[in-house]
Amino acid sequence: MSAIDESPDFSAHHYANAVSGERAIVLRVQAGDQQAFGELVMKYMQRAYYGALGLTGSHDDALELSQEAFARAFRARATIDPELPFYTWYYQILQRLCFNLGRDGKTRREKLAEQNSWLVAEAESRQPHNPETQLQQEQLAACSRAAIESLGNTEREIIVLRELQDMSYQDIATLLDIPIGTVMSRLYTARKRLATQLADLL
């Protein structure tokens, strides 16, 4: 299992700065200030999109659900806790929308088959284009999609938050309202299962 790679003092300082910097904006939002809410949207729209993309595996769904989550957040602005980072509160809305996506009748398997997962897309973006290895890349992409698809919601989510969004253990613990030890345990389990699935498929 990986050791914690950020000190408690740094995490606490980072957390305090995030809360302090957003409190005034959140209070303006709660008063109905749409411009202030726009500041929060601009700050978090990319993180929200990638979070939704990691949970749904679909570019279109990620755009739609992240935007819908912001719309719901503004309607429910009276319930925002200004003493907490906005994204921690917003993510609960986004998470529910993403996890409820399967109710539209299209399975996660079908969605992932339609488009590359975020992990596959990220990996391919880092590789130079080489026609001679295109077949190998396509086979690797297919295996990666199958491995990611095998993860449950909890495992997939923890991989997204840590590996894609590069969130600290403390921030993930705050976001998911779980102990930091649970974060480390879930991440270890998710990484191990993903590696095992890839090894079996390759």
User: Do 15 and 104 fall into the same domain?
Assistant: yes
Task: Give residue 76's Cα distance to chain centre.
Answer: 21
User: Do 73 and 140 fall into the same domain?
Assistant: no
The per-residue DSSP string of 26-50 comes to HHHHHTT-HHHHHHHHHHHHHHHHH
Query: Going by C-beta distance under 8 Å and a sequence separation of 6 or more, which residues neighbour residue 125?
Result: none
Quote the pTM value: 0.64
Looking at 56, 86, 115, the residue that finishes a domain is 115
Other C-beta atoms lying within 10 Å of the C-beta of residue 147: 22
Q: Are 37 and 29 in contact (CB under 8 A)?
A: yes
User: Do 16 and 91 fall into the same domain?
Assistant: yes
pLDDT for 157 equals: 85
Residue 147: CATH number of its domain: 1.10.10.10
pLDDT for 112 equals: 44
User: Do 103 and 133 fall into the same domain?
Assistant: no
User: Do 81 and 14 fall into the same domain?
Assistant: yes
- Rounded to the nearest integer, the mean pLDDT of the chain is 76
| Per-residue confidence in pLDDT tens, the chain, 202 aa | 444 444 444 455 555 555 567 899 999 999 999 999 999 999 999 889 988 888 887 788 889 999 999 999 999 999 998 888 899 899 999 999 988 876 554 544 454 444 444 554 544 454 555 555 666 666 666 666 667 667 788 888 888 888 777 788 888 888 888 999 999 998 988 888 878 877 766 5
Closest C-alpha among 176, 170, 159, 158 to residue 18: 170
Range of the domain at 150: 116-202
How many domains is the chain built from? 2
Retrieve residue 43's tokens: 């700050």
pLDDT for 12 equals: 52
The per-residue DSSP string of 47-63 comes to HHHHHHHHHH--HHHHH
pLDDT for 103 equals: 59
User: Do 57 and 121 fall into the same domain?
Assistant: no
The label of the residue with tokens 């917003």 reads: 90
